[in-house]
Structure 1
Amino acid sequence: MLVNMKEILHNASLEKKAVGSFNVYTYETIKGVLESAQQQNFPAIIAFGEKYLKNMDFESVYSVVKTLSKNIEVPFVLHLDHCSNLENVYKAIKAGFTSVMYDGSALPYEENVANTSKVVEIAKACNVSVEAELGSLAAGLDSHEGKLDDREIYTSPLLAKDFVQKTGIDALAVSIGTVHGMYKGTPNIRVDILKEIKEKVDIPFVLHGGSGTPEDVLLDCIENGICKINVNTEISVYTIEKMKELLSNGQKYHLSEISLMQVGFIKEVVSKYMKLFNRMV
């Protein structure tokens, strides 16, 4: 059941749980996320970033999701992830996405506010939820979203309050020490900053960079207002490593078999995080 993200994040907030946002870019990734959601009986966010437009266009993503979700009874969201191009935001809304993330975090503050406000105005008229980001994440190992020169800038609690009030967004992505990709060293997640933001802002928070973050830290973040957690790199790294093992054993496989195996590996990672975010640990 395709829904607006605001709805499922509200419920997650009340229950002190988080909904996983899993990046997709192929038939296999979409199928893996949807089947995991159905099997775990837990909502999911299917996240498609503009950098993957070379893999699939917005209309194709929506069509595949719609076809594969015919028998999916749990709520799920089709979300545009990390999009800094306003035209692509509008194209995703037109294609049928139920949630969008406009990422103006690299812009001067007032420009980020202005652009985000424009997105909110158009999205809400279409019953589409809006996520935005304040602060920025550094890039870790195997990152496919960040750049090497990305700097970590923690989210300012005072600016967060002002930003939310001026834009009217539904969810705020915060920077508290996670990275895009896998960690190069021991993570230093500033839950204290998250707590300060929570004291000033009363909307669901989003944690980007869930891959490799210690489970106890993720649970602490959920306890303090994180309702959506993004996972991308770990799914890719795990699936590729498992495929390497299979293809190095000397056995020959048909491409159709490999596709099914990929779905299985994707589901292993997605299901692991769903259980964690549902606090079934």
Structure 2
Amino acid sequence: MLMDTKVMLQDAQKNGYAVAAFNVYSLETVQAAIAAAEAAGSPVIIALGERYVPEVDIDGFAEMVKGLARKSSVPVSLHLDHAYENETIIRAIRAGFNSVMYDGSKHDLENNIKYTKEIVEIAHLAGVSVEAEIGSMARGAFSDEEEGTGSLTDPKLAEEFVKTTGVDFLAAAIGTVHGMYQGEPNIDLDLLEDIKKRVDLPLVLHGGSGTPHETILKTINSGICKINVNTEVSIAAVKRLKSLLANEDTMHLSVVMEAIQSEIQPVMERFIKLFANNK
């Protein structure tokens, strides 16, 4: 079943768990994410990053996900991740995405508020919820995201940002990275607690890959309701691909894609079960 992202995350906030948001780019990655969610008996967010739009048609992708969601035994939400362009966001809204993320973190606070508020007004008219970010995550290893400054979220500014823009959930920069960590993770849980006290919204953690499991659980207990995962799934797929082709370079593509889907589904399922926080 297709579910509004805001409703999904409000339930997570109320009941103390987090929903996995998997970055996907193909039929196989979508099917793996939904199958993993069904196996775990938990909701899931299917996230398409603006980064992949040149290769993935938004309208066709949306119809595919909505079709699979209608057959799913668990709630499924369709989310546009890390979008910087109004045109992409409007296309996603028209295509039936349940939520969009406007990433204005590259702008100063005044302009981030201004542009985010404009997106919120447009999206809410269509009944679509909005995620935004204040602060900027750094890029780790094996990531294909843009390089960020690594500046952490200021709790006071986050409070002002939420009140002024009307966003539905907020991505908090607390020291996680896009991709895998280079060195020991330095995640500020005290900062997250301060943000939670000031922001009464579902909070989002970008950079679930490579983050220690005990730290993940602490962030959930401190208000994180949505956790994005991309790189660990990608690494598992690429390792499987290398193994398949190590001694056979003429294997049929259908066999390769089936094997990759089978490889990444249990990876996704482990994340979903972890984020359930024993709920």
Task: State the TM-score, normalized to the length of structure 2.
Answer: 0.97
> Structure 2: how far apart are the matches of 1:70 and 1:162?
38
Residue 171 of structure 1 corresponds to which residue in structure 2? 169
> Structure 2: how far apart are the matches of 1:194 and 1:43?
24
C-alpha deviation, 1:251, in angstroms: 8.4
> Structure 2: how far apart are the matches of 1:27 and 1:141?
26
> Structure 1: how far apart are the matches of 2:206 and 2:153?
13
1:205 aligns with 2:203: yes
What stretches of structure 1 of length at least 5 have no aligned partner? Answer: none
Q: After superposition, give the CA deviation of every residue in 1:20-44 in whole Å (9 maximum; x if it has no partner).
A: 0000111111111111112211000
Q: State the one-letter code of the partner of 1:183.
A: Y
* 1:81-160 correspondence runs (5 A): 81-147=81-147, 150-160=148-158
Residue 34 of structure 2 corresponds to which residue in structure 1? 34
> Structure 1: how far apart are the matches of 2:89 and 2:114?
15
C-alpha deviation, 1:122, in angstroms: 1.4
The structure 1 residue matched to 2:251, chosen from 253, 264, 269, is 253
> Structure 1: how far apart are the matches of 2:55 and 2:128?
24
Residue 24 of structure 2 corresponds to which residue in structure 1? 24
> Structure 2: how far apart are the matches of 1:63 and 1:260?
21
CA contact (8 A) 1:177 1:188 kept: yes
C-alpha deviation, 1:63, in angstroms: 1.6
> Structure 1: how far apart are the matches of 2:216 and 2:146?
21
Q: State the one-letter code of the partner of 1:157.
A: P
CA contact (8 A) 1:139 1:181 kept: yes
Q: State the one-letter code of the partner of 1:230.
A: N
Paired residues, what number?
279
Task: State the TM-score, normalized to the length of structure 1.
Answer: 0.96
> Structure 1: how far apart are the matches of 2:249 and 2:107?
51
Q: State the one-letter code of the partner of 1:129.
A: S
C-alpha deviation, 1:152, in angstroms: 0.6
Q: After superposition, give the CA deviation of every residue in 1:66-107 in whole Å (9 maximum; x if it has no partner).
A: 232342021111000000111111110001101000000111
Residue 47 of structure 2 corresponds to which residue in structure 1? 47
C-alpha deviation, 1:250, in angstroms: 4.3
CA contact (8 A) 2:69 2:75 kept: no
What stretches of structure 2 of length at least 5 have no aligned partner? Answer: none
Match of 2:71, SS?
coil
1:189 aligns with 2:183: no
Q: After superposition, give the CA deviation of every residue in 1:125-165 in whole Å (9 maximum; x if it has no partner).
A: 11111000000001100111132xx3210000000000000
Residue 65 of structure 2 corresponds to which residue in structure 1? 65
CA contact (8 A) 2:3 2:77 kept: yes
> Structure 2: how far apart are the matches of 1:254 and 1:187?
40
User: What's the RMSD between the two structures over aligned residues?
Assistant: 1.3
Q: State the one-letter code of the partner of 2:38.
A: Q
Residue 75 of structure 1 corresponds to which residue in structure 2? 75
CA contact (8 A) 1:26 1:55 kept: no
Match of 1:69, SS?
helix
C-alpha deviation, 1:54, in angstroms: 2.1
Q: State the one-letter code of the partner of 1:201.
A: V
C-alpha deviation, 1:254, in angstroms: 2.2
